[in-house]
A and B are shown apart, each in its own frame.
Chain A
Amino acid sequence: MADKILFDLVSPEKLLLSKSVDMVTVPGTEGYMGVMAGHASLVSTLRAGMIDMRDDDQDSRFFIRGGFVEINATKITVLAEEAIPFGELELATLDQRIVDAQEDEIAAKTDADRARAAQLVDDLKLVRAAF
Chain B
Amino acid sequence: MASVKEMRTRIGSVKSTQKITKALQMVAAAKLRRAQSAAESARPYARSMANVIANLAAGVSGPSAPLLLAGTGKDQRHLIIVATSDRGLAGGFNSGIVRAAREKIAALLATGKDVKIITIGRKGRDQLKRQYGDRFLETFEVGIKPAGLALVKPISEKVLEMYRGGNFDVVTLIYSAFKSVVTQTPTVRQLIPALVEGSGKAAFYDYEPDEDTILEALLPQNISVQLLTALLENQAGFFASQMAAMDNATRNAGDMIKALTIQMNRTRQAQITKELIEIISGAAAV
A interface residues (Cβ-Cβ under 8 A, vs B): 8, 10-15, 28-30, 40-45, 68, 70, 72, 77, 79, 81
Q: Number of B interface residues at 8 Å Cβ cutoff, please give it.
A: 28
- Asked if B206 is at the interface of the complex by the 8 Å CB criterion, the answer is yes
B48, A77: Cβ atoms closer than 8 Å: yes
In the bound assembly, the distance between CA atoms of A40 and B213 in angstroms comes to 20
In the complex, which of the residues A13, A45, A72 contacts B208, with contact meaning CB atoms closer than 8 Å?
A45
Contact across chains for A81 and B149 when beta carbons are under 8 A apart: yes
Cβ < 8 Å to A, chain B residues 177-225: 203-209, 213-214, 217-218, 221, 224-225
B91 sits at the interface (CB 8 A): no
Known: A45-B217, A79-B45. A12 touches B228 (CB 8 A): yes
Assembled-state Cα–Cα distance A14/B213 (Å): 26
A79 to B49, CA, bound (A): 7
A68 and B44 contact, Cβ closer than 8 Å, known pairs A13-B148, A30-B208, A79-B52: no
By a CB distance below 8 angstroms, the chain A residues around B217 are: 45, 68
A43 touches B55 (CB 8 A): yes
| A79 B48 Cβ-Cβ under 8 A | yes
Query: Assuming A43-B52, A45-B208, what are 16 further A-B pairs, CB within 8 angstroms?
Result: A11-B45, A12-B148, A12-B224, A12-B228, A13-B41, A13-B45, A14-B41, A14-B42, A15-B44, A15-B45, A42-B208, A43-B56, A43-B208, A44-B214, A70-B205, A79-B52
What chain A residues lie within 8 Å of B209 (beta carbons)? 29-30, 44-45
Pair B55/A10 contact, Cβ less than 8 Å: no
Q: Tell me if B41 and A15 are in contact (CB < 8 A).
A: yes
* B38 close to chain A: CB less than 8 A: yes
* Nearest CB in chain B to that of A112: its residue: B216
A residues less than 8 Å from B213 (CB atoms): 45
Known A10-B44, A15-B44; judge A41-B206 contact (CB<8 A).
Answer: yes
Q: B residues within 8 Å of A by Cβ?
A: 38, 41-42, 44-45, 48-49, 51-52, 55-56, 148-149, 203-209, 213-214, 217-218, 221, 224-225, 228
B208 touches A12 (CB 8 A): no
A42 touching B205 in the complex, CB below 8 Å, given contacts A10-B48, A15-B44: yes
Assembled-state Cα–Cα distance A61/B74 (Å): 47
- Residues A43 and B205 in contact, CB atoms below 8 Å apart: yes
Report which residue of B51, B207, B208, B228 has the largest number of chain A beta carbons within 10 angstroms of its beta carbon: B208
Please judge, given known A-B contacts A29-B209, A30-B208, whether A68 and B149 are in contact too, CB under 8 Å.
Answer: no
A45 to B216, CA, bound (A): 11
With a CB–CB cut-off of 8 A, which chain B residues contact A13?
A: 38, 41-42, 45, 148-149
**How far does the Cβ of A67 sit from chain B's closest Cβ, in whole Å?**
9
Chain A residue contacts of B48, Cβ below 8 A? 8, 10, 70, 77, 79
Q: What's the minimum C-beta distance from B23 to chain A, rounded to whole angstroms?
A: 29
A10 and B218 alpha carbons, distance in the complex (Å):
15
What is the minimal beta-carbon distance from A123 to any residue of chain B, in angstroms?
Answer: 15
Residues on A with beta carbons closer than 8 Å to the beta carbon of B205: 41-43, 70
Nearest CB to that of A78 among chain B residues?
B48
Residues of A within 8 A of B41 (CB): 13-15
B42, B52, B148, B224: the one within 8 Å of A68 (CB):
B52
Which of A15, A28, A41, A68 meets B204, CB within 8 Å? A41
Q: A-B pairs with the 3 shortest C-beta distances?
A: A14-B41, A44-B208, A15-B44
Q: Report yes or no: B44 in contact with A8, Cβ–Cβ below 8 A.
A: yes
How far apart sit A43 and B52, CA to CA, in the bound complex (Å)?
A: 8
A40 to B149, CA, bound (A): 32
Is B149's CB under 8 angstroms from A45's CB?
no
Residue of chain A at shortest CB distance from B59: A43
